[in-house]
Structure 1
Amino acid sequence: MTDYIVLRDKSLGRLNPGELESLRPTGGPGSFADRFGPSSHPVIEPEPEISVESLEPSDMRDLARDPTFRQKARPMPTKLIDTVGTSNAQPQGQTTWGVHAVGADDTDVDGAGVTVAVLDTGIDRDHIAFAGVNIIERDFTGTGDGDGNGHGTHCAGTIFGRNVDGLRIGVAPGVSTALIGKVLDDNGSGGSQMLFEAMQWAAIQESAHVISMSLGFDFPGLTNSLADQGWPVEIASSVALEAYRENLRMFDAIMDMIRAHSAFSGGSLVVAAAGNESRRQVHANFEVSVSVPAAAVGVVSVGAAGEGQNGLTIADFSNTNPLVCGPGVNVISAKANGGLVSFNGTSMATPHVAGVAALWWEKLQTLPIPVTSDTVRARILASSVTDPFAPGVDIPDRGAGLVSAPHLH
């Protein structure tokens, strides 16, 4: 028997056979198209349920006949999109360069009323940067709350951190409620089940407006684990590749349910790091495309920009083909156990974009338009700017450009 993560949508269990059949022609039970297709179709609030089940091949037929079944996947390790070293950046003025670059210090909104979820290594909730924030922690790793790694604390500080020693580090310091899903342990390791359960918790149960994540599916890690158990390398690679595909499909299915949930809550905008696997310092063409899950449908993938003599440049490590960019080099933010620290990485760029998303979410609520994750996403893409980039920066490397907060003037 083999363990599988199984995703069900319990809302479909309440439909009679005729209603289920009416859903099938436009994409299958419970798909996004079904929920918002012809007006004769019911609009159903999704109820995701994730479990781990030991299944034989013969069980697959019964699973396929279950009207609530959506997707299955072999559990797969996940890992932190780790920082690319620390840097010795020192504060210049009263605002970090990243906060200033995205225009967060020149806007009339601060993220008030917006709920942000950070799915990472946890948080040092006692850090002065988070004073006054209603922090709701949930540990999916089994290692307990807190942040023994520091990555999650740094990312959270960039999104909604308060001033530290007179320095503004947070893009959206008006955010008063933060959901902290610990999906990676102190070593930066986790599992896909943890991620999927955290996404369900943040988006469906808690209706987070913005979800920020900087992690990836660990294909090499699963391959090596199977090989260490005595599997031939060819078979281990094949099984790991199939698990990778299954987990991508599972991620897409959960994203589909999150989009469906937008009819009832406004939805959740998912922002994720593009990855740090490129090596342009080795060769200009040594570029790796956006990694999964940032490459999944509906996710705002983020590349890393840095300051240069003639304007912004793309970091050597930043994966190509992101949707947008954020400041990701020499980023100063909260350090676990107190103080400040500077890191580099698309992991540092991602919370800048998540913070800008929170600003836009608040801003759009003042306008006579529906405010959903789709409208926020559209505004982020439309307002991204290319002027700050130095001449010669490739379009695929920067995407739509540097994200920009709502202008004050």
Structure 2
Amino acid sequence: MEQDQLIILRNTSRVDLSDLFSGRSRSIQSVRASEGINLRLDVESLDKQDLFEVRRDPEVVSIAPPMPIALVKPVASQQTEASPTGVTWGVSVTRASESPFTGKGVTVAVLDSGIDAEHEAFRGIQLVQRDFTGEGNGDNYGHGTHCAGTLFGQPINGLRYSIAPGVQRALIGKVLNGVGGGTTAGIYQALLWAINENAHVISLSLGLDFPGYVNKLVAEKEYPMDLATSKALEAYRANIRLFESLAELTRARGAVFQQGTVVIAAAGNESKRDIKPDYELAVTPPAAADGIISVGALRTDGEPHNALTVADFSNTGVNIAAPGVDIYSAAVGGGYIDMSGTSMATPHVAGVAALWAEKILSETRTVSSTELSARLIGQATKSRIATGVDPLDVGAGLVQAPLS
């Protein structure tokens, strides 16, 4: 009997974590004292009979076939010089440069193409690296290095280009290889790793490669195109459900241990407003999954940055927006480069989340994902957004750092 490879998410705890949100379980304190909170991810080859048995297992939360993932590829950037004002425009409009918080004491995770750990931007930062691609650590693409620089890179020659330069510990999960590809199995494993490493904030600038999966089914399974497309849609839905299950269980786990984790993801760059204003696509997974904060990209026509518009490429239906055009940050191999994309907007939001996490920790010594998400979304502003911008393109508005 033919076997298929499947990703299986199991909750091996002795308590249903979802009960914490419905009031059916014992108190959080009693759960913490007596129950282990264990989430497990397995990749197994199963035939139809095996799958039938696995689905009956009460520990099984969600099942999905591995799908290819790809980085949210940057689009061409026009700017060639850094801001002369001492801070980049992204740091300025998010008001990170005015905040008393820098991300100190907050653990962040960047799950991307890895990092150039030797770059001067990351001097003095504890980088905890783990490879989920089989390629080994390091960044053979440059995407992850740029995103990490925006999140926590150190100032250079008096220029601040990162949102949270006070971050002292960063988790770098390499889930994308040298050509920008990977699988959902790798990203799920990396998410669990980052959660178990107590990340407060996880930044994702990648998406499911639906066309790539259709082509894979045609080439390897010899499916007709219509059948391959339908099968890919099934896998697409199953992977969204797995992302959502993982997000829900992560919130429950955070409630037990009083250690919240927020996951922030790029909305995608597939829209074509430059061709026609209504050539828009909705947010793509994983950003489309419930429990994950989706990020759109904004552009500016220059100082004073008071009429920001949505980037032509930015997908619609987002939760929040951030600077994503002509973003100056670290380049793999040394130096700095401008890039544009929702990939570049996402670490701005992740960085601001780190600032809010530091503020909350200073007040209560613990941070929940619910409170952190609420502060992040609730404090966003539309005051700098140009008149006439579609609310669906910016969500709650421009992300804002805490000012006190």
Identity %: 47
> What residue number does 2:71 align with?
80
TM-superposition CA deviations, 1:182-218 (whole Å, max 9, x none): 0000111000000000000001x10100000011111
> What residue number does 1:67 align with?
58
> What residue number does 1:185 align with?
177
Residue type matched to 1:9 in 2? N
> What residue number does 1:338 align with?
334
Greater shift, 63-72 or 350-359, is seen at: 63-72
2:188 to 188, 192, 196: 196
* Aligned 8 A contact 2:258 2:367 in 1: no
* CA-CA distance at 1:36 after TM superposition: 5.3
Greater shift, 119-128 or 62-71, is seen at: 62-71
For 1:138-217, list aligned pairs within 5 A.
138-203=130-195, 205-217=196-208
1:133 to 94, 113, 125: 125
> What residue number does 2:6 align with?
4
TM-superposition CA deviations, 1:217-248 (whole Å, max 9, x none): 11110101111232211111111111111111
2:277 to 284, 291, 300: 284
* Aligned 8 A contact 1:274 1:294 in 2: yes
* CA-CA distance at 1:366 after TM superposition: 2.7
Residue type matched to 1:4 in 2? L
Residue type matched to 1:400 in 2? A
TM-superposition CA deviations, 1:316-354 (whole Å, max 9, x none): 000111111010001000001111000000000000000
* Aligned 8 A contact 1:207 1:265 in 2: no
> What residue number does 1:239 align with?
231
Distance 1:127 1:78 in 2: 26
2:300 to 307, 319, 325: 307
Q: Match of 2:354, SS?
A: helix
TM-superposition CA deviations, 1:335-379 (whole Å, max 9, x none): 011110000000000000000000000112233596211111101
* Aligned 8 A contact 1:77 1:192 in 2: yes
Residue type matched to 2:293 in 1? V
* Aligned 8 A contact 1:134 1:178 in 2: yes
For 1:316-331, list aligned pairs within 5 A.
316-331=312-327
Q: Match of 1:385, SS?
A: coil
Distance 2:241 2:69 in 1: 15
Taking structure 1 as reference, are residues 373 and 53 closer, same or farther at Cα in structure 2, changes over 3 Å only? same
For 1:1-80, list aligned pairs within 5 A.
1-12=3-14, 30=16, 32-33=18-19, 37-40=23-26, 43=31, 45-80=36-71
Greater shift, 264-273 or 178-187, is seen at: 264-273
Residue type matched to 2:310 in 1? I
* Aligned 8 A contact 2:19 2:25 in 1: no
* CA-CA distance at 1:31 after TM superposition: 5.0
Flag structure 2 segments of 5+ consecutive residues without an equivalent. Answer: none
> What residue number does 1:24 align with?
none
> What residue number does 1:221 align with?
212
Distance 1:222 1:280 in 2: 26
> What residue number does 2:253 align with?
261
Distance 1:64 1:56 in 2: 12
Residue type matched to 2:156 in 1? V
Taking only aligned residues, the RMSD between alpha carbons, in angstroms, comes to: 1.6
Taking structure 1 as reference, are residues 369 and 177 closer, same or farther at Cα in structure 2, changes over 3 Å only? closer
Taking structure 1 as reference, are residues 60 and 359 closer, same or farther at Cα in structure 2, changes over 3 Å only? same
* CA-CA distance at 1:65 after TM superposition: 2.9
- TM-score, normalised to structure 2's length? 0.93
Residue type matched to 2:261 in 1? S
- TM-score, normalised to structure 1's length? 0.92
* CA-CA distance at 1:295 after TM superposition: 1.1
* CA-CA distance at 1:87 after TM superposition: 2.9
* CA-CA distance at 1:48 after TM superposition: 1.4
Taking structure 1 as reference, are residues 61 and 31 closer, same or farther at Cα in structure 2, changes over 3 Å only? farther
Taking structure 1 as reference, are residues 374 and 294 closer, same or farther at Cα in structure 2, changes over 3 Å only? same
Distance 2:65 2:364 in 1: 45
Greater shift, 366-375 or 285-294, is seen at: 366-375
* CA-CA distance at 1:78 after TM superposition: 0.5
Residue type matched to 1:48 in 2? L
Distance 1:300 1:218 in 2: 19
> What residue number does 1:397 align with?
393
